[in-house]
Structure 1
Amino acid sequence: MTFQLQNYIDVRVMDILSCQEVKPEIISWSPRIIVLHNFLSNEECDYLRAIARPRLQVSTVVDVKTGKGIKSNVRTSSGMFLSPTEKKYPMIQAIEKRISVFSQIPAENGELIQVLRYEKDQFYKPHHDYFSDTFNLKRGGQRIATMLMYLSDDVEGGETYFPMAGTGDCSCGGKTVKGMSVKPIKGDAVLFWSMGLDGQSDPNSIHGGCEVLSGEKWSATKWMRQKPTF
């Protein structure tokens, strides 16, 4: 079913890094998915958008043969990666540390944050975040988990869709489909694992970005690996 504000973990976590109250909610155990309400402040969301806007380029996907980024009609957004220098900015450092605290994965195991913009009719078809090539495994190993942070409101559609989660129907870009979806709400984040408890890549972690019907969907993604990436 479409994710509703229910089934919260019965605890509120006060983030000492930002003095804001982050409220975790488990929405699926297989695949493992947690929605973190109020993960980013309005100021942090606007800051990431401001950094990214003048540097947006057409998004790419990983070529399984070469491990390099290539353009594809599977993904129709625009985006950019923060630089290693920007990773050291105080506000970015606070976000990085918060991601590490809630994922329980060391900050040095994370890739650089990618900021994305989806405009009307844009989408990202269902895919896995873990790698199918050997090239990308050389730096940091396999991807363990993903933190997907929403940076904007006033968007229709644009849900994050997990076709293998749940047992009901959900809304995805104005269509009713099987699985579970999370509506983008500014400041919220979705933490999900690409690797199961057995240490193997989890095929149930397949997910996509539903078509945006109106407005702009801004998000920031942090992928986390088995080992340090830098």
Structure 2
Amino acid sequence: MLYLIWILAFNQMLQVVGSNFFDPTSVIQISWKPRAFLAKQFLTDFECNHMIHLAKDKLEESMVADNESGKSVKSEIRTSSGMFLMKGQDEVVSRIEDRIATWTFLPKENGEAMQVLRYQHGQKYEPHFDYFQDKNNQALGGHRIATVLMYLSDVIKGGETVFPSAEEEDNDGGLIKDDSWSDCGKRGLGVKPMKGDALLFFSLHPSAEPDPMSLHTGCPVIEGEKWSATKWIHVASFEKQRPKSSGCVNENDKCEEWAAYGECKKNPAYMVGTPDWPGACRKACKLC
């Protein structure tokens, strides 16, 4: 009896805080062209809510990579708001990164920092590729080979991820498109955002050539709000050179505001820094 009670308590704990364990039987094959797979309940409710909490006060207008220069620029193509978490920012983020590496069989160091995004009514991301068109972005880590898109919230209607160039399966990978799907979501191979689910798709063929069928779009949100977290993974290591501390400065205009809300204690890795990475708001956190 005590053993059964311990097992039930342990399973309940895993549902709350998550673990590095990944269940491959939770994966649904969505498509082979492009290669796309959906993992049901990849994240726990706690993990979804935790990432939203880390991001919600630090959102800025989303950018896209310019095809010529590789620099991040504003564009009507992408109308969400978002921010980047630090790699290994805390135990929860690090555990999710480990789970992604387990699922994809791609090294953890090949991944970029996770980007948390919020899409409000009417906001969308028009059709685009995740592999790079410019050589500047390919210089570090090479092409993006795969993307793991994690849905942090349910969306009442809209916000689907659609592959307009995909060769559709007869049953859409077992996904039923009912009245909760938007017209945009019904126009091709698509996935409806459901809290905790994660979509893995490959932007390159096994030969490492770009796959044009990986073209994808984020449909406009019609009702509700969409939160997601994206992990882009490269063909090689994406570990950027660690910067040396540049003194006691604020590297973001919102540092003082965040410090006033207590973020120096709530989010010390970003605000104050770690032994390997100086914080962005050291002056606001009164380190000098």
TM-score of the superposed pair, with normalisation by structure 2: 0.70
Alignment match, 2:54: 51
Q: CA deviation at 1:88?
A: 4.0
Q: CA deviation at 1:156?
A: 1.1
Q: Does the CA contact (< 8 Å) of 1:174 and 1:213 recur in 2?
A: no
Alignment match, 1:11: none
Alignment match, 1:134: 135
Alignment match, 2:42: 39
Amino acid at match of 1:78: S
Alignment match, 1:150: 151
Alignment match, 2:234: 225
Unaligned runs of 5+ in 1: 1-13
Structure 1 residues 121, 64: closer, same or farther in 2, change over 3 A?
A: same
Unaligned runs of 5+ in 2: 1-13, 240-288
Q: Does the CA contact (< 8 Å) of 1:151 and 1:186 recur in 2?
A: yes
Q: CA RMSD in A?
A: 2.2
Alignment match, 1:189: 198
Amino acid at match of 2:221: V
Q: CA deviation at 1:180?
A: 0.6
Q: Distance in 1 between matches of 2:187 and 2:19?
A: 38
TM-score of the superposed pair, with normalisation by structure 1: 0.87
Q: Distance in 2 between matches of 1:52 and 1:27?
A: 29
Alignment match, 1:116: 117
- Percent identity of equivalent pairs: 45
Q: Distance in 2 between matches of 1:61 and 1:208?
A: 13
Amino acid at match of 1:174: D
Structure with the greater alpha carbon radius of gyration: 2
Q: Distance in 2 between matches of 1:121 and 1:17?
A: 35
Using CA pairs under 8 Å that are at least 6 residues apart, name the structure with larger relative contact order, 1 or 2: 1
Q: CA deviation at 1:27?
A: 1.1
The structure with more strand, counted as a fraction of residues: 1
Q: CA deviation at 1:164?
A: 1.6
The structure with more helix, counted as a fraction of residues: 2
Q: Does the CA contact (< 8 Å) of 2:184 and 2:219 recur in 1?
A: no
Alignment match, 2:86: 83
Q: Does the CA contact (< 8 Å) of 1:158 and 1:184 recur in 2?
A: yes
1:98-147 CA distances to partner (integer Å, 9 max, x unpaired)? 00011110000000000000000000001000000000011111100000
SS at match of 1:55: coil
Alignment match, 2:269: none
Q: CA deviation at 1:197?
A: 1.6
Q: Distance in 2 between matches of 1:196 and 1:149?
A: 22
Aligned partner (choices 53, 64, 85) of residue 67 of structure 2: 64
Q: Does the CA contact (< 8 Å) of 1:160 and 1:182 recur in 2?
A: yes
Give aligned pairs, total.
215
Q: Does the CA contact (< 8 Å) of 2:146 and 2:202 recur in 1?
A: yes
